[in-house]
Chains A and B, each alone.
Chain A
Amino acid sequence: MSDHLLIVDDDADLRELLADYLGRNDFRVSAVADGRGLWAALEREPVDLVILDLMLPGDDGLVLCRNLRARSRIPIIMLTARGDETDRIVGLEMGADDYLPKPFNPRELLARIKGVLRRSRNPVGEPGEVKCFHFAGWTLDVAARQLVAPDGVLIPLGASEYRLLRVFLEHPQRVLNRDQLLDFTQGREAAPFDRSIDVQVSRLRRRLSDDPREAAMIKTVRNEGYLLTVQVRPEY
């Protein structure tokens, strides 16, 4: 049976178009205009994923997101026309699984929906969304996508490095081969120019000032792949 998506957006045209588009891509789609409609739809039948607009009449998307997260684990993708960095951070902190600024490419939305659904089916093992990962004195702020070194200095990360680091942090002390890494990193937001995993790993090591010849954080396991050696403490 196809997945059931629930669209919450106050723009009737957009609602209809989205429903049409997603319907053509083998989803079952319901669409409502606001929070009241959302709760009513959830009462009626089970929903696999909610696409939630940030700006809504009555309770706005953030409030709905928080309330929804409080009562269920239904995956949420937030849409917003504001496209603000702080909006993204707040949205993710409110428990949204992903975030997409308007105007988005419909195919990107499709990819995100699939990614979020896949992740919700194969949970990494932790309940709820992780806010931060702490490891060896370092902190990766997931919402803000910022890596902070032990001395408090912020280390900028490229998109692919961020994704790779996150995969390592979600699977600490486990050998990950190149295919797994590629699969995990591509599963989120595929970038057009992704380098080979080895290049990405070497870049990430540089960011972490990690020397592979010494007792490294990311260790190369010959003929197998890579291993994050340090303890990771996720913060929810």
Chain B
Amino acid sequence: MRRLLPQSLFGRLTLFLTGGLIVAQLLSAAILLQDRDQALYQAIGGHVAQRIGAIVNLLDTLDEPERRRLVTALDLPPTRLSLDLPWQTDAAPDERYHTTLFRALLKRQLGPDRPFQLEINDDLLPPLRIDRRPRFDPDRPPPPGQAERPPRWRMRAMMMGLRNFVVQVRLRDGTTATFQQALPEDVIAWPARLLLILVVLLASVAILSAWAVRALTRPLTVLANAATELGRDIHHPPLPETGPLEVQRAAHAFNTMQQRLIRYLEDRNRILAAVSHDLKTPITRLRLRAELLEDSPLREKFQADLDDMQRMAQASLDFLRSGEDAEAVAPVDINALLDCLREDAEDAGHAVRVISVARQPLRCRPLALKRCLTNLVDNALKYAQDAEIEVVDRPDRLTLTIRDYGPGIPGAELERVFEPFYRLESSRSRDTGGTGLGLSIARNIARAHGGELVLRNHPTGGLEALLEVPR
């Protein structure tokens, strides 16, 4: 059951509204049709009974030739009249509401002592044949092409559930008069119009409810989009606080949350910046003090500690700035940039292979992008001697894949290593471990360029960093 439901709120609401509407409309249409049916029976039945009564009374007073002439004159659709058919003896007693009603009407017209029998049949073929024209003769095969096609009025009867009245009345001299009547054409057309009205009503209500539901669910979509955007850009413009009251409140709550988040992040950044920044002067002093030490091994240890402290402070500041866009955007020759990285690695005794080239310069923040790539290459070279950078240049984006042939990273850690100060257990030691900010900085820079940076383990071993920047 749950699987059959549409997934979206829009789909569900539309389904419930339209479905409910269809059921309501069908029910009321059924009631209406039934009422109409009764009214028609009253009216038509009364009319038909009156007519049959009059004709029977007239026939009683006429002799045989005159009867024939009269029958010929009256035997016209929709009322057929015949004196030649035998009394139907096998007519089952029919106690249905309509039949009873009509029988009472007939009895009133024909008088209490005249024998008559009535059959109202919903079948396709009337049990009594009063017409001898070939198309009504069941013993003769129908002409080819018409085999399966009932006559036109019968088709309508079939579709509308139209009924035939067959009334047999015994005349005073024992002759059987058989009347057959079908409902008139214009009465049949009526339900078709009703159906058309229903369809129009239903269609307009369905469209209207779809529109209304769309209008109601749109704020939800807007809210979801805003939340997604917020993840990317905390300073995304606030939502408009308009629309229905509930929507206004949701938007307001959302905007308040955004303000709080911004304040929180600002506080955090201010603290981190202040700590990192204020560390610089003491570190400078310590460096000078260390330089003044006479004991050279002690001095070197001091300096190594100071190097660590300085790296942390600098990396923290770099991390804080990595999401900013202070630097001006300029077209940068990516191939030259990769060449620089390759040569720097070469100078440090590593081999970096650059595969393929960028076809055109990339508009970016030059120093930030260089920092991002440097961090990625450094990270690759931390675990492996060699690395390779593959360039895939598409019209809409540039993808740089930095791959090493090191041990890779456990799958569960692939996202976590982007968290600031997160370090793999294997790189906790000071000689291999960096500041724990390199990848965070790289990803921040990628995102500040509207791009993305992900890590994945290469199926044939080694780690791959995928940097994608839109053009």
Q: Residues of A with Cβ closer than 8 Å to B?
A: 11, 13-14, 17-18, 20-21, 24, 81-86, 102-107, 146, 149, 152-158, 161, 193-195, 203, 206-207
Interface residues of B in 272-294 (CB under 8 A from A): 277, 280-281, 283-285, 287-289, 291-292
A-B contact pairs, 17 of them (CB 8 A): A14-B281, A24-B292, A81-B281, A83-B314, A85-B327, A102-B280, A103-B281, A103-B306, A107-B291, A154-B361, A155-B332, A156-B336, A195-B347, A203-B339, A206-B336, A207-B336, A207-B339
* Interface pair A14/B285, CB less than 8 Å apart: yes
* Interface pair B291/A106, CB less than 8 Å apart: yes
In whole angstroms, what is the CA distance A203 to B306 when docked? 34
Given A14-B288, A104-B287, verify A81-B333 contact (CB < 8 Å). no
In whole angstroms, what is the CA distance A179 to B90 when docked? 132
Interface residues of B in 299-315 (CB under 8 A from A): 306, 310, 313-314
* Interface pair A156/B333, CB less than 8 Å apart: yes
In whole angstroms, what is the CA distance A40 to B207 when docked? 85
Nearest CB to that of A108 among chain B residues? B287
Q: Residues of B with Cβ closer than 8 Å to A?
A: 277, 280-281, 283-285, 287-289, 291-292, 306, 310, 313-314, 317, 321, 326-327, 330-333, 336-337, 339-340, 343-344, 347-348, 361, 366-367, 370
* Interface pair A153/B332, CB less than 8 Å apart: yes
Give which listed residue, B288, B333, B347, contacts A20 with CB less than 8 A. B288
In whole angstroms, what is the CA distance A83 to B321 when docked? 11
In whole angstroms, what is the CA distance A94 to B277 when docked? 23
Residues of B within 8 A of A13 (CB): 285
* Shortest distance from the beta carbon of B331 to any chain A beta carbon, whole Å: 5
In whole angstroms, what is the CA distance A18 to B337 when docked? 38
Given A86-B326, A154-B330, A158-B340, verify A14-B366 contact (CB < 8 Å). no
* Interface pair B285/A17, CB less than 8 Å apart: yes
* Interface pair B284/A104, CB less than 8 Å apart: yes
In whole angstroms, what is the CA distance A168 to B103 when docked? 122
Residues of A within 8 A of B283 (CB): 102-103
In whole angstroms, what is the CA distance A21 to B284 when docked? 12
In whole angstroms, what is the CA distance A149 to B280 when docked? 37
Residues of A within 8 A of B331 (CB): 152-154
* Interface pair A14/B291, CB less than 8 Å apart: no
